[in-house]
Chains A and B, each alone.
Chain A
Amino acid sequence: MNQLAPNPAALLQRVKLDSDVVAARQMARQLAVELEFSRPDQALVATAVSELARNIVKYAQDGDIEICAVTSGPRVGIRVTARDQGPGLEDIDLAMQDGFSTGNSLGLGLPGTRRIVDEFDISSAPGKGLTVTVTKWR
């Protein structure tokens, strides 16, 4: 890709149904392809979005995933923001531990996602929903 569109509008996917999880990760992969991420990194971006979108469906039932291209000097990346208005997390540190889950899962969603991205930011409070922002640089 010779030129990158200057700050293209963020892509937005409402996440409510489990089919929205598929739509969100396909949207993320498509952007990763357009930005010429390597195939392994395309898979990591799509997998991270899948985990974040699934968390929304499972714990909050409704939210959205925003995906945009970001630049920092010569670097190009993808930033994903997952937002919901669900119950939020009482203890973020606990939720970030491998194997911790309140939802009968492997408990690897959030800690696993943190391992496959370059930047990871999470903010939440009980009753205030959850916002997770991750960035993967090319």
Chain B
Amino acid sequence: MGRRVPIVSQGDLLIASVQEELSDSDILDMQTRILEEVSRLSATRVILDVSLLDVIDSFGTRMLCDIAASVSLRGARMAIVGIQPEIAMAMVLLGLTLEDVPTAQNLDHGIALLRERA
């Protein structure tokens, strides 16, 4: 699992990067690991990079919202970065949105976004 979603930290910032397609249980594992790392490192900002995901379906969307919500309950803020344009189009057609979850095009923008909202 660590290989599929490596999590690196820098100061109070955590960056989790999805490396390959994730099954539902992989996504649940990822949620657990992100929360553990947020607590262990007292992180206040989390970036989840999904640029290598080529499907985000209804379950995936719900999980991304859940992960952001649970990170928020731990007192940290999370941004999702790198949703590919064709995935964004598919999500909208499916009726899926990431309400209340900040998103950005790439890592740099995501970091800037979380800094603005601090």
Contacts and interface: CB of A to CB of B under 8 A. Distances in A.
DSSP majority for the B interface?
A: helix
Instruction: Bin chain A's interface residue count.
Output: 20 to 34
Interface in B20-55: 21-25, 54-55
B109 interface: no
A105 B61 CA distance: 11
A116 B58 contact: no
Contacts of B87: 43
Interface residues of B, number: 23
A47 interface: yes
Contact of B93 (A22, A29, A44): A44
B89 A106 contact: no
A67 to B, nearest CB: 15
A105 B62 contact: yes
Contact of A22 (B23, B86, B90, B94): B23
A22 B22 contact: yes
A27 B46 CA distance: 32
Contacts, number: 75
A98 B96 CA distance: 11
A54 B90 contact: no
A43 B96 CA distance: 14
Interface stretch (A2-10, A107-115, A127-135): A107-115
Contacts of A26: 21
B57 A51 contact: yes
Interface string A67-109: 0000000000000000000000000000000100000011011
Given A51-B58, A105-B59, A106-B62, A40 B89 contact: yes
B11 interface: no
Contact of B24 (A18, A29, A51, A109): A18
Interface string B79-118: 0000011110110011110000000000000000000000
B44 to A, nearest CB: 29
Contacts of A18: 23-25
B32 to A, nearest CB: 16
Closest A-B pairs by Cβ, 4 of them: A112-B94, A43-B86, A18-B24, A40-B86
Interface of A: 17-19, 21-22, 25-26, 29, 39-40, 42-44, 46-47, 50-51, 54, 57, 98, 105-106, 108-109, 111-113, 115-116
Interface of B: 21-25, 54-59, 61-62, 84-87, 89-90, 93-96
